[in-house]
Structure 1
């Protein structure tokens, strides 16, 4: 029962994180992964089929978000470095 409650809480947290703005979302996703997947595997989640589908959809949606966010941050850093170089 404890594992099921922990799994439902993780799903609920991920649903909430999915609604946040980009920067906060990225930071919260990092925290979510550290909390829920650092000691346990995703296979250890105890959810019914519908909840498991929802978790997998959110997981991969946010994985793609993080990839895009990383590219965006790289681009912003590159532009800031160009501006800094120009100002020097």
Structure 2
């Protein structure tokens, strides 16, 4: 059950669609549908661009990680000696 219970059945939805057709008219609906289709197309394109950017960044980061040199930390005794010399 939704908010309205069983108030919105199949016939009610058909009536709502007919009211929308009468209000907007047959000439406005194709324009609306075209705009909606273009919006969906742009959204999908942007989503693929973002996914491509993420994949590119991951690839670059993994390549940078492989190019790094191994860094060794100084021994604790050497660190003490260096601080004692100051």
Normalization by structure 1: what TM-score? Answer: 0.45
Higher relative contact order (CA 8 A, sep 6+): 1
TM-score w.r.t. length of structure 2: 0.46
Larger of the two Rg values belongs to structure: 2
